Amino acid sequence: MKIDLDSENEWGHFIDPHSFQIVEIIDEVPLGSFVVIKEREFIEDIDRTVIQTIYGIVEEKKFQPMNKRELSKLMSKACGKYILDFNQLPPKVMVKKKLQIDKPAQLAFIMSNRDTFHLKLDKDDLDGGNPYEIINSIIENQDFKSTMYDREEKWKIEYAKSSRSKCRTCSSNIEKDTVRLGEPHYFEEHLNYRWHHEDCVFFQRMDKENIKGLDTLNDEDRKRIEEKLDV
Ligand SMILES: [Zn+2]
């Protein structure tokens, strides 16, 4: 089905439940796809623009919105099926917590820095198989680090190289040589950044380890940003 997005204020991706590929929503979204839509909205009460996320799934002829927890449950099922079919973890799925015998496996699907889905696989998701044994046998032959969850996709901070980039929060241009923050975002396996003004970002939701490029700023700018990060 077609999901119509207001191109000015909405953008989104769908995840193919069979391949776990992340695809930008441009036109058709296949049946069964998991959908993540971002919506820019001005909230008068706080006098600022915020980005809301809408989660859902494409059902027969309609888009069924649901909360992230519900969608994560469906993803866990799809993840279990992928593991049984291919004997490997789906792309961008990592082990979040050390596996424990007789406990559900806790995995994470890292769609982007802002959208991580916590997946919990129990026996039912693996056709009655034991999550500990099945997933252990998959990861024991892989480099441990490659299967463990770490937030390697970092935000990027830098001076705008031109005045052409648009802030994804407020839609106005970001002036050349001013600080801009890039939100990591994958499109067809290529890492891109969605840029924001310094004043348009909620620093409370970040931590220092999750930003790269602080060392490229001058002392004054770096200290100001670090203070915001420490709030
Ligand atoms: Zn802005």
CATH number at residue 203: 3.30.1740.10
Q: Of the candidates 208, 158, 192, which has an alpha carbon nearest to the alpha carbon of residue 178? A: 158
| 64 phi and psi angles, rounded to 5 deg | -105, 105
102 and 181 in a single domain? The answer is no
Q: 198 C-alpha vs ligand 1 centroid, how far in Å?
A: 7
CA of 28 from ligand 1 middle (Å) equals 30
Which residues span the domain enclosing 118? 10-147
Spacing, Cα 76 to ligand 1 middle (Å): 36
183 in the same domain as 82 = no
Of the two residues 83 and 3, the one the predictor is more confident about is 83
**Residue 180 and residue 70 share a domain:** no
Q: How far is the CA of 228 from the centre of ligand 1 (A)?
A: 16
For residue 200, how far is its CA from the centre of ligand 1 (angstroms)? Answer: 5
Tell me how far the alpha carbon of residue 230 lies from the centroid of ligand 1, in angstroms. 21
> How many A from CA of 195 to the centre of ligand 1?
9
48 C-alpha to center of ligand 1: Å?
10
Structure confidence at residue 137 as a pLDDT band (50, 70, 90) = confident
Q: How confident is the prediction for the chain on average, in pLDDT?
A: 87
Would you list the DSSP string of 102-157?
TS-EEEEEESSSS-EEEEEE-GGGGTT--HHHHHHHHHTTS-HHHHB------EEE
Read off the pLDDT of each residue in 176-203 and give the average, rounded to a whole number. Answer: 82
- pLDDT above 60 for 168: yes
The predicted-structure confidence for 66-104, as pLDDT tens digits, reads as follows 999 999 999 999 999 999 999 989 988 988 777 888 899
Q: List the shell of residues around ion ligand 1, using CB closer than 5 Å.
A: 167, 169-170, 197, 200
**126 and 35, same domain (yes or no):** yes
Q: How many domains does the chain have?
A: 2
3 belongs to a structural domain: no
CA atoms within 13 A on the CB side of 18: 3
94 within some domain = yes
Chain centroid, CA 157 distance in Å? 18
